Structure 1
Amino acid sequence: MKIGIIGTGNMGKIMIEALVESEAISPSQLYITNRSIHKAKNIQKDIPLITVCKSISDTIQMADLLFLCVKPVDMFPILFKHRHLFSNNKCLVSITSPVSVKQLESIVDCSCARMIPSITNRVLAGVSLLSFGENCSTNWKLTLTSLADNISIPVEIEEEITRVASDIVSCGPAFFSYITQRFIDGAVEETKISQQQATLLASQMLVGLGDLLKKNVYTLPSLQEKVCVKGGVTGEGITVLEREIGDMFNQLFQATHKKFKEDVQETNKQFNA
């Protein structure tokens, strides 16, 4: 099986590195291209057996399975221009949420799916969100799920929860990185601990927390109960969090969904034209 990657920005590159590092595929199976071709060639320097294609059309013709890793507004022009190259034995996979699988199927005749990755997939962890088109063959469903399983936990989702699931899986690492950085900054500003020490301690705390959850030692609620001794220091901290956080996360999801609706409206104009 030959795999094409159209778009080698942040997520495209992460997918390439994860698939190769996990040995899910051989580098010689990969055919990649990018609008700025030097980005694709930089990846080839690190993974020499990858083939860099000069154009999108070359990539489509060479590959059986194609990942479209471009901005939502760039998808329709690419698909419309090259729709005749997507023969029905191929599979097209989008990694972005505003364009539905149904919209992909409205342009091309091949099997279509969506696979929303996470930066955590780079270390072969986290979740990949999968959605399949009505005409996606059983063989391609199994193939894509198997690939995702090598770099993540594959989870099939319904269209109506695509945005919130992506917020948690794909945006979540950025959100909690920001919160952790503010946690560190607060410690440095209020005490004599150094930025370096606080960063080390907080980072390792998160790694340990992840291991506890991964090994099912505790659930999130039970972990809080174990650490939060009644009348203790942790309880005082939790009281502050309860008071200050309020509806912050409600507002966060409201904001991401508002932007999502704007993106969907923009792409709908293209696909419904």
Structure 2
Amino acid sequence: MTNIGIVGTGNMGGMLAEVMMDQQSIPQQQMYIYNRTKERSTELQTRYPSINITQDIRELLSKTETVFLCVRPNQYKSLVNELKKHLTLEHVVATITSPVSLKDLETLPARRIVRTVPTILNRTGKAPLLLTFGNHWTNKEKTLFEQWLQTFSEPISITDDTLRISSDFISCGPAFISYLLEQFILAGVKETNITVENAEMLTEKMIISYGHLLGEGHFNFQGLREKVNVPGGITGKGLKVLEKFSEGMFEELIQETHHKYAEDKKEMATLFQGKTDM
């Protein structure tokens, strides 16, 4: 892989930079980063001293062939103007921002546009990464790019009509599950004599081992639940409580994430309708 540029090394951009270098998908010397705040760049450089900090978008694009846009939707306004000025036909532009449409990004000078939606789980070097190619890639180019992504992730091709729900599962899902487990732990501490430390330790070991069970193919979700829930047992009593209080909860969650997604898409679309110089 040629030189890589990352615009924005916040939670996701920084994680992607780290895992790319840790998995040796790209040497430190070929990694170029840009942030609006220099502190984030220098913080990453303390851990990866050979990376290159650029002063602006123009410099980053002049030194790289593939650039990952890892900024929030509300930060795209000034970024789009810079991309229009300094991108070339040969650049590869990868956005991790789900509300921006590939069709709109294809109005930029670069020919090859791709969406690569990550999850915090990508820090392991193994987790899913949602992949959608634009319209102007050759099959060979797609294959080579996907092979490179496989060095630090598990790229999964999706279509735009399932983008938001797919992102709910892999990107938002870890936060949702963490919240539910935190509430489980707090309730255990409140209702019994267990300490927070022991409750957290047991829950962490449970969820790690749970992942191994699924990963090794011993169970699927339903099979695991049925295996644990023996007739007349304690687990069944707990499941009835979950059934009672979770009714409609996840439907509302999905409605909320999709409503926010629709708002962000509308806002992003205005940036590509001749309004970026306002």
Category of TM-score, reference length = shorter chain: over 0.9
Match of 2:92? 91
State the Cα deviation string for residues 8-34 of structure 1 (Å, max 9, x = none). 111010001111111111111101110
Q: Conserved in 2, the CA contact under 8 Å of 1:18 and 1:123?
A: yes
Query: Is structure 2 residue 176 aligned with structure 1 residue 175?
Result: yes
Shift of 1:100: 1.1
Distance in 1 between residues matched to 2:59 and 2:138, nearest whole Å: 24
Q: Conserved in 1, the CA contact under 8 Å of 2:96 and 2:115?
A: yes
Distance in 2 between residues matched to 1:185 and 1:148, nearest whole Å: 39
Shift of 1:139: 4.4
State the Cα deviation string for residues 44-100 of structure 1 (Å, max 9, x = none). 111011111111110011100000111113224312233242212110000010001
Matched AA of 1:89: E
Match of 1:129? 130
State the Cα deviation string for residues 229-264 of structure 1 (Å, max 9, x = none). 010001111111111110100100000001111111
Match of 2:35? 34
Superposed CA RMSD in Å reads 1.2
What is the number of equivalent residue pairs in this alignment?
A: 273
Distance in 2 between residues matched to 1:235 and 1:22, nearest whole Å: 43
Q: Which has the larger displacement, 130-139 or 88-97?
A: 130-139
Q: Conserved in 2, the CA contact under 8 Å of 1:76 and 1:271?
A: no
Distance in 2 between residues matched to 1:262 and 1:64, nearest whole Å: 32
Query: Is structure 2 residue 162 aligned with structure 1 residue 161?
Result: yes
State the Cα deviation string for residues 130-177 of structure 1 (Å, max 9, x = none). 011101343442333123212221101101111111111111101100
Matched AA of 1:115: T
Secondary structure at the aligned position of 1:271 is classed as coil
Matched AA of 1:147: W
Q: Which has the larger displacement, 139-148 or 225-234?
A: 139-148
Secondary structure at the aligned position of 1:107 is classed as coil
Q: Conserved in 2, the CA contact under 8 Å of 1:80 and 1:107?
A: no
Distance in 1 between residues matched to 2:241 and 2:127, nearest whole Å: 30
Secondary structure at the aligned position of 2:271 is classed as helix
Identity of aligned residues (%): 34
Secondary structure at the aligned position of 1:151 is classed as coil
Match of 1:240? 241
Distance in 2 between residues matched to 1:114 and 1:33, nearest whole Å: 19
Which structure 1 segments of 5+ residues have no match? none
Distance in 1 between residues matched to 2:100 and 2:14, nearest whole Å: 21
TM-score, structure 1 normalization: 0.97
Secondary structure at the aligned position of 1:13 is classed as helix
